[in-house]
Every structure is written in C-alpha cells, then in structure tokens.
C-alpha cells in the first residue's frame, strides 16, 4: 500500500509538473500573440526626451532641422549605396575588402526621427535608441575591455553600454565566415584584424568629420510585452560602437535597425510575433501630448487604437532597394486627375521606385514626379501671399491666414495593384510657422528612389507583414 501511494504520488507530481509546463508555454504563446508595443518618442518631443536639447526651438527651427537631417540622410544613403557596390565588386575580385571603406550610417541622430527604449545585455542595461526603417544594424554606444580613468571620457554625457559587465556579450571573431562574408554588406573590416580571435570590426564615418569605430557581437536584447511580461532575443547581432561626441547624436544612445536584413532587429522580433511589425505616427508638430507606437505582432491583437481601422493592402517589396521597404507604384493623382508621370519614375530597374522611410521627414520626389505634383497643387494656393522663408529645399511657402484645407485638391498615391493611399491635406500642406505653410515636397535628382517620409505617413497605421510581403495601412488617430 505504501509503495502504491508513493507511485501514485510520483505520478501526480509528474502530471502536475507537465501541466505547469504546458500552461507556462500556453501563456507565453498567448502573450506572444498579443505582441510587443514600444512607445516611439519624436526627437522634437522634449517632454518625453528632456536630454535632446529641443526645448528652445521654434516650430520653424524644427522644420529647418528636419530638412537638414533629410539632406544629410540622402547624401549618406547615396554614399552607402556606392560603397556597397564597390564592396560587391571587390569581394568578387579578392578575399579582402578595403579597410578604408566607411559605413555612412543610414540612421545617425541627424537622420533619425523617432526614439524607442530598449534594454541590452545581461543584466539588462536600458537605452534610448533611434527607430529607423532605413538601417539594418542595431548598434549602441558602448565600451569593451576599457580600463583606466580615460574610459567614458568620449561620451561622458550619454549612456554607455558597458559590454564587460554583460555575461551574454559574445564578440564575432575576425576569422569567422560571418565576419568575412555575411557582414561585409554591413561594412565589416576583416582585413583589419590584429589576430584571428580578435572581434570583427566595422567603421562609421560621419559627414561632420569624426570617425566611430566599433565591433560586432551577439547579445541579448530585452523588451516588454503588452501583457507586462518581458521577452528576450538571444544572440542578436549588435554593433558596439565607440561613438564620437558628435552633437548630431544628442539624446540618442544608438540605433534599432528596422530595415530588411537577416540581421536586423525587425526581422528577429517579427519572427517571434508572426512575421509582422507596425507603427502609427501622430503629428509630431502637434502641441498635444500624444504618443506614437512601434508594435510587433498583428494589429488585430486587443489594441483599442487599431481594432476598428479600415485597412488597405498592397505588395511590400523587400530586398530590392538595400534595406528599405518599397512599394510598386502606378502613379499619383491630384483632384481625381491622374498626373502625367514617366513610368520609369517608379521602376527600380531603371533607377527609380518608391520607398517608405520612417527616418526621413518630408516626401521626396524625383523630378519627373515632383514637377507635375507641384504644378497641380499650386493653383489652389494662388490667392495666398507667397513667402520667401528659405526653409531648406521647400520650394513653395505661403501666408496661411484664411486657409482652409478644403481649398486644396486631394492627393492620392496609386499602387500598381489598385490600392490607394489618401493622406490628409495637412500631411502635404504642412505647418512651418505661425501663419505660414509650405507644400511638403522636396525635389530629388534623377535617377533615384522617391520617398514617402514620416510626415506623409502620419495619422495612419502601417503594418509591415514581412513574412507575406504585404503592406497594410489605414487612417487612424493613433491614440
């Protein structure tokens, strides 16, 4: 009888053990279906980001700064594309890649618009990072094997990831195929290795002059689920960058790579939450205390801000224009009239195309699309006094006294599969100062990819279904 009781007790214990394991896994799976929701802080929102130095800027100064950031971003994007083309040719000719090839960051703070909070390492260290769909590498300002009083001197006013304090920090060896082959597209420098076991290095170079060398490593990234629990991504590729004290990084500790790449944070996190990520951008020129969010998982998951959105869908084009997310365009209409725009303007093979970029503020159109759009919109504004505000490359600004959005014809982006994106008028007739507005388009020289920037994307929910190559979007208050 005692033996029977012992066997029965053992069976009951084992049964309960597996029940607990099952419930834990079920709970975890259920939470993953809920998804991850990160608050996105605009760089001009000093209320949530008090270290960004933006408190004293007027709205006009902020729009000028955004335009300056956009210009730098376009220059870096072109430079990066050229360097990558050289890298591909070089890799076919030799096993080595020139150590002088710089990485022009697709998302330093001068070209990044929104921040998210992320924790890196074990134990986790919390940082404020730039969220950028134009960057495939996640990197953080950090120190590795640093000893002595000089440590921390370069970035004394910013948070630093102390890699030596993290037991999960694992450098990528120089001798590995990952360094020599896989990371060449991220500008690894395998021929600069002092030894086979040395960490794989990369090199950033900024237009303002100073360089920021770094090393590649695999690390644990921690973030919160919408249920309140935490999720970890292990062996996430991160760059440990000894970033300079360039003022363009004021308020930022690094970059979260949301671009399309095997090593980007977006793909790793999206794979956990059903292959999707999304965001909803509120008007960052609005004085209201509103919040944007970056979400991993389906928008249908118990989120009151997105559950009633009427979604539209079009093909998401990836792997064609570097790490950017592109769409197939048919054309643009203004006032229900399709504009005469050369077809090759939207053809990537001909050097054109259209991308969506969260790190660019304005909407950029190559000349074959820009001029027809401007010519179609200007007549509706001819009764308003033209202003010469010299705001970067914004061509048409006017005195907005007495302005009504109904005076302006609706602009529509037509996608090749028949879907339409109809932004509100104040997404393309933008406020730049009290009593002043501008048409929010900037001219790009041909050939180049046109860009739907984050101002044009505002007040819409955007879901990037990477797994199914589908872009879904819909009008939303983002609240």
CB 379 within 8 Å of CB 396: no
Rounded Cα–Cα distance for residues 131 and 294 (Å)? 9
- Angle at Cα 334 formed by Cα 332 and Cα 335, nearest 5°? 145
Is 446 within 8 Å of 250 (Cβ atoms)? no
From the candidates 45, 70, 108, 132, which is the catalytic residue? 132
CA distance 65 to 107: 15
Say how far residue 127 (Cα) sits from the centre of its chain: 16
CA atoms of 370 and 347, how far apart (whole Å)? 16
| H or E stretch covering 217 | strand 211-224
Q: Compute the distance between CA of residue 257 and CA of residue 357 in angstroms, rounded to an integer.
A: 12
Residue 200: both structure tokens together = 């794989």
Catalytic residue among 322, 357, 433, 465: 357
Other beta carbons within 10 angstroms of residue 18's beta carbon come to 10
Do 386 and 438 contact (CB within 8 A), yes or no?
Answer: no
Q: What residues are paired with 334 via a beta bridge? A: 337, 411
Catalytic residue check, 132 = yes
398 forms beta bridges with 386, 437
CA distance 128 to 135: 16
- Whether 357 is catalytic: yes
**Rounded CA gap, 430 and 271, in Å?**
37
For β-strands 138-143 and 161-162, DSSP reports them as: parallel
Catalytic residues, by residue number, are 132, 357
């Amino acid at each position: 009888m005692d033996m029977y009781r012992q066997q029965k007790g053992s069976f009951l214990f084992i049964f309960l053990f597996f029940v607990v394991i099952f419930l834990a896994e079920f709970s975890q799976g259920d939470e993953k279906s809920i998804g991850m929701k990160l608050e996105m802080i605009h760089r001009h929102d000093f209320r949530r980001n008090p270290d960004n130095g933006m408190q004293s800027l007027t709205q006009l100064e902020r729009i000028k700064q955004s335009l300056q950031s956009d210009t730098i971003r376009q220059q870096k994007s072109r430079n990066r594309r050229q360097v990558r083309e050289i890298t591909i040719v070089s890799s076919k000719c030799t096993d080595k890649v020139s150590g002088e090839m710089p990485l022009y960051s697709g998302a330093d703070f001068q070209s990044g618009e929104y921040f998210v909070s992320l924790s890196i390492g074990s134990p986790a260290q919390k940082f404020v990072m730039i969220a950028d769909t134009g960057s495939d590498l996640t990197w953080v300002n950090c120190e590795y094997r640093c000893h002595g009083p000089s440590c921390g001197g370069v970035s004394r006013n910013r948070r630093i990831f102390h890699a030596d304090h993290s037991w999960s920090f694992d450098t990528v060896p120089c001798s590995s195929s990952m360094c020599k082959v896989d990371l060449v597209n991220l500008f690894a420098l395998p021929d600069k290795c002092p030894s086979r076991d040395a960490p794989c290095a990369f090199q950033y170079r900024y237009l303002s002059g100073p360089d920021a060398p770094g090393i590649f490593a695999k690390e644990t990234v921690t973030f919160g689920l919408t249920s309140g629990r935490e999720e970890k991504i292990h062996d996430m590729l991160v760059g440990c960058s000894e970033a300079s004290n360039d003022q363009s990084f004021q308020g930022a500790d690094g970059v979260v790579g949301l671009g399309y790449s095997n090593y980007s944070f977006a793909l790793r996190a999206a794979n956990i939450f059903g292959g999707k990520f999304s965001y909803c951008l509120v008007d960052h020129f609005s004085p209201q205390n509103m919040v944007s969010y970056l979400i991993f998982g389906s928008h249908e998951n118990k989120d009151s801000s997105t559950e009633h959105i009427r979604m539209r869908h079009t093909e998401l084009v990836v792997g064609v224009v570097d790490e950017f997310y592109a769409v197939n365009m048919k054309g643009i209409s203004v006032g229900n009239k399709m504009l005469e725009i050369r077809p090759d303007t939207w053809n990537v093979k001909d050097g054109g195309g259209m991308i969506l970029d969260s790190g660019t503020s304005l909407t950029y159109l190559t000349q074959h699309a820009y001029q027809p759009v401007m010519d179609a919109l200007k007549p509706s504004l001819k009764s308003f006094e033209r202003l010469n505000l010299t705001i970067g490359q914004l061509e048409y600004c006017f005195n907005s006294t007495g302005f009504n959005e109904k005076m302006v014809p609706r602009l529509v982006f037509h996608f090749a599969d028949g879907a339409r994106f109809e932004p509100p008028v104040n997404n393309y007739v933008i406020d730049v100062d009290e009593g002043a507005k501008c048409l929010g388009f900037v001219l790009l020289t041909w050939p180049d990819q046109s860009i739907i920037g984050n101002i044009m994307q505002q007040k819409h929910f955007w879901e990037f279904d990477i797994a199914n190559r589908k872009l879904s979007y819909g009008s939303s208050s983002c609240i």
